[in-house]
Amino acid sequence: MNSTVSTAALSAPAGARLFLAMLSHIRHGHLELITPCNTRMVFGDAHAPSGATLKLHDWRACQRILRAGDIGFAEAYAAGWADTPDLTALLRLALRNEASLEQLMFGGALARCWYRLLHWLRPNTRQGSQRNIHAHYDIGNDFYRLWLDPSWTYSSALFDGDYSLPLQTAQQRKYQRIIDTLQLRPGQRVLEIGCGWGGFAEQAALQGIHVHGVTISPSQLEVAQRRVQARGLTELVQLELCDYRDLQGEYDAVVSIEMFEAVGEQYWPQFFRTVQARLKPGAQALVQSITIGEQYFPRYRSSADFIQQYIFPGGMLPSVERFERLAGRCGLRPVERHAFGRDYAETLRRWDAQCRQHQHQIAGLGFDEHFMRIWEMYFAYCEAAFDEGRTDVVQFLLQKA
């Protein structure tokens, strides 16, 4: 450090000095830090092509990050204590330096225990699932309408490397791949667990496929039913509020698109047994799920991150290995998988751009700046994880034994 940097560090509060000392361990890329007194400090290799900037408006941000890691940073960012011109770049830099920035990433032991306890207190029982889903999906259809594509799809699109595609086209491509992979034909009956706002049901029904879709979100069901009625598909599509554990009957196929993340690890066996029971003998299911690398899973499981705390209470990502192993034990043989995590990063960039474009309308719905900054963090946090290969999104094709 030069004398200017040393003077700035010495004049900082004790927590901030510890924070600055930890940043000196950056080995990959570089971080430009701007302190509350406008002193510029560079950590890491200043000549490295990958870099990011962090502007501290309040030294309290340092203590919050030291205490609670990514959750603390999200809180400091939402409070306006910290800022950056490129949030995704900052988070990618953090991921690349995770080994040397452990406390800044994961926080202190007491905070980790506390947030893990909060996560455990949000189990996905029937009643708990309703509370957890309500906390995210029932905040208002008017909000989601502003930034989702016209198909109302809230899951990864499938670009297949063609990022010139409109988002709606890429979402329809994803739905069609599911239909084609399952070799669905007119007249067949498909169960969709977690039908969302009805995007898949509509596309399948337009091809003569019968769809029984279930959700536990009243807001989603309202839009989905309205869409089905508007397209004249009521004879082909049945949508209802129903927990997947209460389903009966057999179907030619089962589809579930990014609902598995909301099941909760404790209930994964019950989910797979339900899918197996609802399939006709020899029939197949396609489950699309976000996954986390197996090497990161043990630590992820033993703590709770920003997403679980602020975005998806009760949520839990599987690794590919654990997903397929447990599915097999429950009578569902893994047949193939298709991973397209880079496409999820692009999907998130599109959603974030739409949110920013409509920020005045969103504010008009009663959502304040704190809410918007939490959602900016949510999009950037997930985008960085997909781009860095920390997480992926996979379509698993499973066959009933």
pLDDT recorded at residue 116: 79
3-state secondary structure of 253: strand
Confirm if 394 and 105 have CB atoms less than 8 A apart.
Answer: no
pLDDT recorded at residue 114: 79
Confirm if 215 and 237 have CB atoms less than 8 A apart.
Answer: no
Residue type, position 394, single letter? V
Q: What is the C-alpha to C-alpha distance for residues 27 and 96, in angstroms, rounded to an integer?
A: 9
Percent of the chain whose pLDDT exceeds 90: 82
Q: In which band, very low, low, confident or very high, does the pLDDT at 132 lie, cut at 50, 70 and 90?
A: low
Percent of the chain whose pLDDT exceeds 70: 94
Q: Tell whether the model's pLDDT for residue 127 goes beyond 90.
A: no
Q: In which band, very low, low, confident or very high, does the pLDDT at 4 lie, cut at 50, 70 and 90?
A: very low
The residues carrying an active-site annotation are: 382
pLDDT recorded at residue 7: 55
Q: Tell whether the model's pLDDT for residue 208 goes beyond 80.
A: yes
Confirm if 397 and 284 have CB atoms less than 8 A apart.
Answer: yes
pLDDT recorded at residue 48: 84
Please give the backbone phi and psi of residue 214, each rounded to the nearest 5 degrees, phi first: -125, 145
State the sign of the Cα–Cα–Cα–Cα dihedral 107, 76, 5, 43.
positive
Q: Where are the domains of the chain?
A: 5-107, 129-400
Instruction: For Cα atoms 364, 370, 376, give the angle at the middle one, nearest 5 degrees.
Output: 90
23-38 tens-digit pLDDT: 999 999 999 999 999 9
pLDDT recorded at residue 110: 83
Mean pLDDT of the region 131-148: 81
Q: Tell whether the model's pLDDT for residue 2 goes beyond 60.
A: no
How far is C-alpha 289 from the geometric centre of its chain's CA atoms? 10
pLDDT recorded at residue 3: 38
Is 354 or 103 the better-scoring residue by pLDDT? 354
pLDDT recorded at residue 134: 59
pLDDT recorded at residue 9: 62
- Write out the two tokens for 257: 């698109």
Q: Tell whether the model's pLDDT for residue 148 goes beyond 60.
A: yes
Q: Tell whether the model's pLDDT for residue 157 goes beyond 50.
A: yes
Q: What is the C-alpha to C-alpha distance for residues 289 and 256, in angstroms, rounded to an integer?
A: 8
Q: In which band, very low, low, confident or very high, does the pLDDT at 63 lie, cut at 50, 70 and 90?
A: very high
β-strands 30-34, 40-44 pairing = antiparallel
Q: Tell whether the model's pLDDT for residue 1 goes beyond 60.
A: no
Q: What is the C-alpha to C-alpha distance for residues 364 and 345, in angstroms, rounded to an integer?
A: 28
CB neighbour list of residue 378: distance below 8 Å, 6 or more residues apart? 306, 307, 310, 311
Q: What is the C-alpha to C-alpha distance for residues 349 and 327, in angstroms, rounded to an integer?
A: 32
Q: Tell whether the model's pLDDT for residue 135 goes beyond 70.
A: no
331-341 tens-digit pLDDT: 999 999 999 99
pLDDT recorded at residue 108: 86
Q: Tell whether the model's pLDDT for residue 46 goes beyond 90.
A: no
pLDDT recorded at residue 152: 96
Burial grade of 382 (CB within 10 A; 0-12, 13-18, 19 or more): buried
Q: Tell whether the model's pLDDT for residue 121 goes beyond 90.
A: no
pLDDT recorded at residue 313: 86
Mean pLDDT of the region 123-140: 70
pLDDT recorded at residue 182: 98
pLDDT recorded at residue 331: 98
The answer as to CATH 3.30.1050 being correct for domain 5-107 is yes
Q: Which one of 3.40.50.300, 1.20.1250.20, 3.40.50.150, 3.60.20.30 gives the CATH number of domain 129-400? A: 3.40.50.150
Mean pLDDT over each residue of the chain, to the nearest integer? 93
84-120 tens-digit pLDDT: 999 999 999 999 999 999 989 988 888 778 777 777 7
Q: Tell whether the model's pLDDT for residue 6 goes beyond 60.
A: no
Mean pLDDT of the region 157-174: 97
235-247 tens-digit pLDDT: 999 999 999 999 9
